Chains A and B, each alone.
Chain A
Amino acid sequence: MAGGHASTAPAMLAPEAPGLLGLSGLGFNRAQSIAFLVMLAALLVGPFLLYPVFLMKLLCFALFACAFNLLIGYVGLLSFGHAMFFGMGGYVAAHAAKVWGLTPELAILAGGVVGAGLGVVAGWIAIRRQGIYFAMITLALAQMVYFFCLQAPFTGGEDGIQRVPRGALLGVVDLSRDMSLYWVVAAVFLAGFLLINRIVHSPFGQVLTAIRENEPRATSLGYRTDDYKLVAFTLSATLAGIAGGTKALLFGIATLTDVYWAMSGEVVLMTLVGGLGTVFGPVVGAAVIVTMQNYLAEFGAWVTVIQGVIFVACVLAFRAGVVGELGRVLKVRL
């Protein structure tokens, strides 16, 4: 769906400037390199200026949104069921840390593995249809996973899994202090962010973009588009699982909220606000929405209404999102 925008955008832009400080090796153009350095600086300074738990929550959602954006922004697939990977990743990581006593990095990894497994199955079913049907199918599958979590014994039903220990990294570094956990979460986010960026700029990513722009053409060129879509879907689900697992360890709790359809909607909103198909959009969008939720928490149910209004406003008047609009003003691709 970002297709229309992305296909016209390059024509308006200045020719790609060379990279900066060797960051072009990551696939960044000049503007993106600067933005990346700014983000890196914010990651380093952030915990000394802001409440680390808030920042960690933000980073978990930013990774989740980046994973989602990999599908919508680069393959043109709107998944309305990404909560199933995020939530299940959280449950499994929490279970692994609490019941199996795994170290945090293994617990997070377990979340990713479950995201991947679930992604293969859900993707295999969902990619049989395109467009709106794809969105409805992923939503329905996610609801199925929600009911599974509601009934399965290991998830604790309405209570969720509570008092999950953060444990010690590699069994050595105690993570119960927020600042120590922060660097782990930041590293997980950064690794995920760079991986997505690497995927997007790889030959594989180019094929994904081709599928987004014109799937029949990609097929006629000999690409098995369904295979490409399934791999992309699985990668996205894996990263969403990792994000969910990290969030579960951060708060020591995994609940039904994270597998509920509203969470699928939230990640769509974050990506939309930041800018579909932009590199930094999902991060900015996650920051905007998480901050908003933090400040508006006292308004209770009005938060839903405000989110709805933002949704409507973005779709009607602000389709490029914050980063997309910024890129247009500055005539660069971010």
Chain B
Amino acid sequence: MLEELLFQIELGLPQIVLGLVNGAFYALLSLGLAVIFGMLNVINFAHGAQFMMGAFVAWMLLNWVGIGYWPALVLSPLIVGAFGVLIEKTMISRLYKLDHLYGLLLTFGLALIIEGIFRNQFGSSGLPYAPPEALGGPPVDLGFMFLPKYRLWVVVAALGMSLATWLVIEKTRLGAYLRAATENAALVQAFGVNVPRMVTLTYAAGVGLAAFAGVLAAPIYSVNPQMGSSLIIVVFAVVVIGGMGSILGSVVTGFGLGLVEGLTKVFYPEASSTVIFVIMAIVLLARPAGLFGRA
């Protein structure tokens, strides 16, 4: 019985690793959503579309300009972040005085526009994007399984980026301003801090996180216009489960749910696409504020 279980786990290890990789994307995307929501009180429905843009910009940089993966990892978030600045300045900033739901509706519309344009331009079938040379090549032999280097890198990069975000928000002066403005924007503004600019940059940073995840995803999934829209709905569930209160919460929930999804693929594959939603329902019934949320 035990042996059988171990055997099944060994067979399923690649799935579990893939689960961790998915978890890395859940973590990065829910982190971005949480950063934006904390400051703007807007749920950024365009987050999935911006994730997709990140992947496409990396693809364009490579195929049109000849810029490779490593520079794209920095450039693509900057480019998509700049696009975020434009969107915040021209549209989202007009909605802060209204019900938060209008922000959701606006960004939903933006997601439709972005996705539609990319589908017209590039079609629905995916475009290939090779992993960088340093991370290509034969998978690492761990003794009990082979691990493609690139997947390992995705997990490490996502953890590193989450840690960096946490450090910026919790340990720097800028982060202190940010946290203060989240609590009481008017008061912080009275102290002479340019809060509107901070809001804009926060949105750009959140969008940049999504684009960063998009570049990471480009070599794993094929680059296609729909890659973000189904992912973002899962990430919404992740956010509901974890609550948007804490960075650590987003990261732990993201990775944890990726892992659970991977395990489900091994033991009960039919449920793998729904397991996160089921967990969401259970968490809502037991602890409506979410695992890390404050009621």
Residues on A lying within 8 angstroms of B by beta carbon are 1, 3-4, 78, 80, 125-126, 128-129, 131-133, 135-137, 139-141, 143-144, 147-148, 150-151, 261, 265, 268, 272, 300-305, 307-312, 314-316, 319
Please list the 5 inter-chain residue pairs (A to B) with the smallest Cβ-Cβ separation, ordered nearest first: A311-B109, A308-B112, A308-B113, A305-B116, A304-B116
CA distance A137 to B230 in the complex (A): 15
Interface pair B106/A311, CB less than 8 Å apart: yes
**What's the minimum C-beta distance from A4 to chain B, rounded to whole angstroms?**
7
Residues on B lying within 8 angstroms of A by beta carbon are 37, 43, 91, 94-95, 98-102, 104-106, 108-117, 119-120, 229-230, 233-234, 236-237, 239-240, 270, 273-274, 277-278, 280-281, 284-285, 288
CB within 8 Å for A302 and B120 given contacts A144-B278, A310-B109:
yes
Write out the residue numbers on chain B whose beta carbons fall within 8 Å of the beta carbon of A3. 99
Main secondary structure of the interface of B (DSSP, over half): helix
CA distance A303 to B115 in the complex (A): 11
The winner among A3, A125, A144, A261 for most chain B CB atoms within 10 A is: A144
Interface pair B240/A133, CB less than 8 Å apart: yes
Write out the residue numbers on chain A whose beta carbons fall within 8 Å of the beta carbon of B234. 140, 143
**What's the minimum C-beta distance from A309 to chain B, rounded to whole angstroms?**
6
CA distance A308 to B118 in the complex (A): 13
Write out the residue numbers on chain B whose beta carbons fall within 8 Å of the beta carbon of A309. 109, 113
Write out the residue numbers on chain B whose beta carbons fall within 8 Å of the beta carbon of A307. 109, 112
**What's the minimum C-beta distance from B126 to chain A, rounded to whole angstroms?**
16
Q: Provide a sorted-by-A list of 7 A–B residue pairs whose CB atoms are within 8 angstroms.
A: A78-B101, A137-B284, A140-B280, A302-B120, A308-B111, A311-B112, A316-B91
Select from chain A the residue with minimum beta-carbon distance to B241. Answer: A140
CA distance A153 to B115 in the complex (A): 31
Interface pair A4/B99, CB less than 8 Å apart: yes
CA distance A229 to B111 in the complex (A): 29
Interface pair B112/A135, CB less than 8 Å apart: no
CA distance A307 to B105 in the complex (A): 12
CB within 8 Å for A131 and B113 given contacts A137-B284, A265-B108:
no
Write out the residue numbers on chain A whose beta carbons fall within 8 Å of the beta carbon of B111. 308
**What's the minimum C-beta distance from A271 to chain B, rounded to whole angstroms?**
10
CA distance A307 to B280 in the complex (A): 30
CA distance A309 to B155 in the complex (A): 37
CA distance A315 to B100 in the complex (A): 12
Apart from the given pairs A150-B273, A315-B95, 16 other A-B contacts in the complex at a CB distance below 8 Å:
A1-B102, A78-B101, A129-B240, A131-B100, A136-B237, A139-B233, A140-B277, A141-B277, A144-B277, A268-B108, A272-B105, A301-B116, A301-B119, A304-B112, A304-B116, A309-B109
Write out the residue numbers on chain B whose beta carbons fall within 8 Å of the beta carbon of A151. 270
CB within 8 Å for A312 and B120 given contacts A132-B101, A140-B277:
no
**What's the minimum C-beta distance from B135 to chain A, rounded to whole angstroms?**
32
CA distance A312 to B111 in the complex (A): 10
**What's the minimum C-beta distance from A305 to chain B, rounded to whole angstroms?**
4
Select from chain B the residue with minimum beta-carbon distance to A129. Answer: B288
Interface pair A308/B116, CB less than 8 Å apart: yes
CA distance A3 to B101 in the complex (A): 12
Interface pair B273/A136, CB less than 8 Å apart: no
Interface pair A128/B284, CB less than 8 Å apart: yes
Interface pair A132/B43, CB less than 8 Å apart: yes
Interface pair B237/A315, CB less than 8 Å apart: no
CA distance A141 to B230 in the complex (A): 13
CA distance A129 to B230 in the complex (A): 22
B281 partner, pick from A80, A141, A265, A302, beta carbons under 8 A: A141
Interface pair A132/B112, CB less than 8 Å apart: no
Write out the residue numbers on chain B whose beta carbons fall within 8 Å of the beta carbon of A141. 277, 281
**What's the minimum C-beta distance from B206 to chain A, rounded to whole angstroms?**
15
Select from chain A the residue with minimum beta-carbon distance to B121. Answer: A301
A315 partner, pick from B37, B102, B113, B278, beta carbons under 8 A: B102
CB within 8 Å for A125 and B116 given contacts A132-B104, A312-B106, A312-B109:
no
Write out the residue numbers on chain A whose beta carbons fall within 8 Å of the beta carbon of B274. 144, 147-148
**What's the minimum C-beta distance from A260 to chain B, rounded to whole angstroms?**
10
**What's the minimum C-beta distance from B6 to chain A, rounded to whole angstroms?**
29
